[in-house]
Structure 1
Amino acid sequence: MTEDDTANEEDHVEPGMMLPASALNQCLESFTAADGNHVKASTQKFNSMGVMALLCQHDRAIFLANMVTAGEKQFYAYALIAALLCELPECWKVSLLYDVACALQQSLAKWQFMPGWLDQISFGVSIFHAYSHQWWVCQLWYHPRKAELWGLSDGEGCEHFWSELMRLIPCLQVSGHHHRLFVIDLQVEYLNEMKQQGTAKWIQE
């Protein structure tokens, strides 16, 4: 029996998932966002490593999580989702576009620590990240253009959001903890207000 034959026998579809484990594992290995051990900043120099944001369909920030550990851990994403679901009726369905949504769904299905979420949340991959996934089957299943559910949403609002916050990085790297959070909060509030006004003008036109 060859190594390929052994790998094929060991490969399987985990409960609650639509893709084989081998496809999902390759996606985990290819994405920085899915690698919880990937360190972008030193915890010895900085108390905060960054922020993770949850945006609505209109690219307005709903919740932000302050990242205090090295690496983009999944529990930050789960904390944001939990905060959102606490504000919504249990009967509501939620659609989530994320760079590595396949990894989030796999963790939920494998470890079953939030059993009700799988029935309430539909997962998709942000459109410009979909083609970075290793297997075509993952691209087909999670691509937002392959399901009517997503409409024309592309899930790239966070990329625009980060570009709007980038100018704060130099000054906030040398700021105190509370000053940093205060500045980010003010900037996010301002951006949300500008986007709301822009939406109103667009509807009026």
Structure 2
Amino acid sequence: MSETSVMSNYYTETKAAVKLAGRKPSLNVREKGMAVTNDVIDRCEDSYLAAKDYHIRISKDYSDKGLIVMVCRHDNVIWFINMGPNGEKRYFMLAMMQKLLGELPESFTVGFFYDVICTMHREMEHWQLLPKCLPWLKFATPVFHAYGHQWPCQLSYHPYKNPEFGCTDGEGCEREWNLLNGIILTCRISGFHHRLFIINTKQAYIDKQNLLKLASWQKHQFEDATAKLEEAEAALDRLWIPLDKIKEAWAEQLSTQQAQPPLPEKDAGAKAIE
């Protein structure tokens, strides 16, 4: 799917909105709808190249910089976007979110994973991007990317600390890239249409294989979730601490570690010396 294809109807308007959102909100402030402050999110943003819209990681010799993909809970591809000469941009994700939510009833609650979801969530709240959709959405960062985030951010966006996501690890895109790994070298020396044909053909094969393995995949996921639940319940039984007390302690930890830090006082150093 090329950058000028059907998806362009969705991300041209979000591209303009994200460009408007280029100015960062004030530091040391917690935006409405956010659990962590802006200074924490800015430190997370500095850890990821994907959060920097100006950064292009692929040689300028290539007109297409790569693919961005949205996969479902079962690791099946929903959409590809072919990234053009400007490389990875945050408005690609917004475009796919808008496209997906337009296909779903408003009664649905939809969870989204993204490497730097804290930054995306802040921009959506601060600049009211897709405002009608915000009440539907839950956000998380994939488990293996979560450790690049600040601890207060992990408390909010790590999927294993968020009951809505269960045992989902959010790494479906990484598994998809692993399946497509074998065609990378061929695509690098292919023409534009030949490249898209190779990707589509390979993905059609992957989709067929995933469909054949769907029942065994669901069985494995159910057994894995059941085993984790039994292990967690056994650990709680060994603690001899009421579950209500554990929940209270967790809520207190969230409140303390995500608290908005006080603003620095003027001449604080001089006052300390005195």
TM score, norm. by length of structure 2: 0.67
Superposed CA offset, 1:33-77 (max 9, x none)? 21222211134x222111101001110111111111334210111
Shift of residue 175, structure 1, vs aligned partner: 1.0
Give the Cα separation in 2 of the matches to 1:204 and 1:17: 36
Aligned match of 1:173:
188
Matching residue of 2:14: none
Note the C-alpha offset of 1:194.
Answer: 0.7
Partner of 1:22: 39
CA pair 157-94 structure 1, distance change in 2 beyond 3 A: same
Amino acid at match of 1:86: G
Aligned residues with identical type, % of pairs: 36
Q: What is aligned with 1:154?
A: 169
Larger Rg: 2
Which residue is equivalent to 2:107?
Answer: 91
Pairs within 5 Å for 1:166-205: 166-202=181-217
Cα distance, 1:111–1:203 mapped onto 2, change above 3 Å: closer
Query: 1:106 aligns to what SS in structure 2?
Result: helix
Q: Could you tell me which amino acid in structure 2 is paired with residue 103 of structure 1? A: T
Structure 1's 154 and 68: CA in aligned 2 closer, same or farther, altered over 3 A? same
Deviation of 1:95 after TM superposition, in Å, equals: 0.5
Displacement of 1:98 in angstroms is 1.4
Is 1:72–2:88 an aligned residue pair? yes
Q: Distance in 2 between matches of 1:107 and 1:42?
A: 29
Q: Residue 117 of structure 2: which of 101, 108, 120 is its match? A: 101
Q: Which amino acid is 1:171 matched to? A: T
2:258 maps to what in 1?
none
1:120 aligns with 2:120: no
> Which position in structure 1 is the counterpart of 2:74?
58
Deviation readout 1:80-136 (Å, 9 max, x if unpaired): 112211211122111011111111111111211311222111000101111110x21
Q: Return the alpha-carbon distance in structure 2 between the equivalents of residues 143 and 10 of structure 1.
A: 23
CA contact (8 A) 1:42 1:70 kept: no
The counterpart of 1:139, out of the listed 134, 138, 154, is: 154
Structure 1 runs (4+) deviating above 2 angstroms are 200-205
Alpha-carbon distance change, 204 to 124 in structure 1, aligned in 2, over 3 angstroms: closer
* C-alpha distance in 2 between matches for 1:108 and 1:141: 16
- Aligned partner of residue 53 in structure 1, secondary structure: strand
| Equivalent residue letter for 1:60 | N
The residue aligned with 1:34 is: 51
Question: How many residues are matched?
Answer: 195
- Match for residue 6 of structure 1? none
Relative to the length of structure 1, the TM-score reads 0.89
Secondary structure at 1:132's aligned position in 2?
coil
Structure 1 residue matching 2:138: 3-state secondary structure: strand
Listed as ranges, the gaps of 5+ residues in structure 2 are: 1-25, 221-274
Q: Distance in 2 between matches of 1:10 and 1:103?
A: 13
Q: CA deviation at 1:204?
A: 7.5
Q: Measured at CA, do residues 17 and 177 of structure 1 come closer, stay the same or move farther in structure 2, by a change above 3 Å?
A: same
Shift in alpha-carbon separation, 1:187–1:139, aligned structure 2, 3 A: same
Deviations 1:2-51 (A, max 9, x none): xxxxxxx95111122111000011111111221222211134x2221111
Contact kept? 1:56, 1:62, Cα under 8 Å: yes
Whole-angstrom CA distance in 2 between matches of 1:203 and 1:128: 22
Q: Which runs of 5+ in 1 are unaligned?
A: 1-8
Tell me, in whole angstroms, the C-alpha distance in 1 between the residues paired with 2:158 and 2:219: 32
